[in-house]
Chain A
Amino acid sequence: MAEVPAADLKTVLLNDRHVALGGRMVPFSGYSLPVQYPTGIIAEHKWCREQAGLFDVSHMGPSFLVLDQKSGDGEADHAAIAALVEPLICGDIRGLKPGQVRYTLLLNETGGALDDLMIARPAAEGWGGALYIVVNAGTKDADFQRIAAAAAGKATLNRSDHCALLALQGPEAVAVMRGVIPGAAELTFMHYGSFDFEGSKLVISRSGYTGEDGFEILVDPSHAALLFDRLLGDARVKPIGLGARDSLRLEAGLPLYGHDLDETTSPVEAGLNFAVARRRRDAADFPGATRILSELGGVLDRVRVGLFVEGAPAREGAEILDLQGAVIGRVTSGGFSPSLNRAIALGFVPPDKAAPGTPLQVLVRGKPQAAEVTATPFVPHRYVRKPA
């Protein structure tokens, strides 16, 4: 494992908190971040599935894109800012309702994924003509440059990655949130808003990367430690490191950029057809539309699948074989599922081998092991789409 020298690593605002909590700090996307706390990945994983976990994801890239000159007509201003970002992505941003968050993909000209990201429309009337955009840590500099260039002269991208971004995830997250920011508990899945906290404003979305109900919270540097301590002060909340974040998202069947998605992978290959908006398909006006529309029509070489793996975990890079032993694909994320107590993986195979139940093999340390294609998520999502 190549480790970046500590001197080159950035620290997050709450670094001292993680160290004090016994976090084992490791290099990740140029930042020093806790991979686990003393209880370990499996205990943290299970706690998040049963109670509530608090994740520091401040390495990611939150930002706001704001029109330089607003007309004052909220709908017109939204349409104007949507028109600036839509040429870069395959999602319908113009169609977002106030307060709505959308998962989408930044694409290159051949329809490959440059990143997967969240784009949201502010709920407040006065905020027409702005978008809240959150991108991945490893790609954020390039993404921000790309977005800023596309909007140059018409809108300005303001980075917020000097703030803290926290994720509160798990079945108890909403009850915890009700005790800290009551208004935020009323958000439904994939909606966001701005909320008062001790004289500061928090940007809170009902979203996450675990498959559980939960929230992602952007907080100013001045209030980050206060909020972190307040949330951890609830006995239902424990801090969760990057290790369990990865095993949770893998069980949830959620792709990780740089592993399950890269510049060669199209949304259709990655099983993210839902992210290619109907309106954009009809207009064929997104990067790589020719390829992606043809793939949607059935011309497809490979597709992302879930695999149950017998025996040892098949890690990223492991070859996927058919029953005759021919290499048909590769594992892109693989590991151990603490919830299912077995090895699971995501990988790419030809479409005729992608039906759930298809028996395959994976090569682990030179030895073939049985595997079976399975539907994802491996563990059902528990998002709260409507108010309880």
Chain B
Amino acid sequence: MTKFTKDHEYITADGTVGITPYAQEQLGDIVFVELPKVGQKLKAGDEAAVVESVKAASEIYAPASGTVLAVNTALTGEPGLINSAPETEGWIFKLALDDAAELDGLMDEAAYADLTK
């Protein structure tokens, strides 16, 4: 089940991380993405990536602790995928979680929907 952070990242059960449709809407047109390195170890809350809109840069934090398994290199050439398909082709990186139970502390879809109401 997909979980959500208060900073508007999502993380799927298989560890795929991106930003929510709400977040991409707030940021506007994404023009640049700085990806983490494959193999990089992250603690929950660490700065993992940066997405830049026309107006500003926003940090993307690791929703949980783990090791970066893969990054979405398609974003380098086409950062706008985060706008057009934030939950599918616009994913940012994938984590091998240290402890899947860490996700229990994050919001579920209903709680996140409340946050963004």
Contacts and interface: CB of A to CB of B under 8 A. Distances in A.
A336 B74 CA distance: 19
A42 B54 contact: yes
Best-surrounded residue of B34, B53, B55 (most CB of chain A within 10 A)? B55
A331 interface: no
Contacts of B55: 35, 41, 243, 246, 335
B28 A336 contact: no
A343 B57 CA distance: 13
A222 B12 CA distance: 55
B28 A343 contact: no
A336 B80 CA distance: 13
A99 interface: no
A336 B57 contact: no
Contact of A311 (B32, B54, B56): B32
B54 A343 contact: no
B54 A247 contact: yes
A312 B29 CA distance: 14
B62 interface: no
Interface in A282-333: 311-313, 315
A40 B28 CA distance: 6
B57 A313 contact: yes
A365 B52 contact: no
Given A243-B55, A312-B57, A315-B57, A36 B28 contact: yes
Contacts of A315: 56-57
Contacts of A45: 54
B50 interface: yes
Interface in B20-42: 28-29, 31-32, 34
B57 A243 contact: no
Contacts of B29: 40-43
A151 B54 CA distance: 42
A22 B53 CA distance: 19
Contacts of B31: 42, 313, 336
Contacts of B54: 41-42, 45, 243, 247, 335-336, 338
B14 to A, nearest CB: 29
Given A313-B57, A315-B57, A343 B50 contact: no
Nearest to A311: B32
Nearest to A42: B29
Interface in B41-84: 50, 52-57
A242 B54 CA distance: 12
B32 A343 contact: yes
A315 B52 CA distance: 10
Given A243-B54, A313-B57, A41 B28 contact: yes
A312 B52 contact: yes
Nearest to A36: B28
Contacts of B52: 312-313, 336
A243 B52 CA distance: 14
A273 B75 CA distance: 42
A312 B34 contact: yes
Contacts of A243: 28, 54-55
Nearest to A38: B25
Given A41-B55, A243-B55, A336 B50 contact: no
Interface of B: 28-29, 31-32, 34, 50, 52-57
Q: Which 9 A-B pairs have the closest CB atoms?
A: A336-B31, A42-B29, A41-B54, A40-B29, A312-B32, A336-B54, A40-B28, A41-B29, A313-B52
17 contacts: A41-B28, A41-B53, A41-B54, A42-B29, A42-B31, A45-B54, A243-B28, A243-B54, A247-B54, A311-B32, A312-B52, A313-B57, A336-B31, A336-B32, A343-B32, A365-B50, A365-B57
Given A243-B55, A336-B31, 4 more contacts: A42-B31, A315-B56, A335-B55, A336-B54
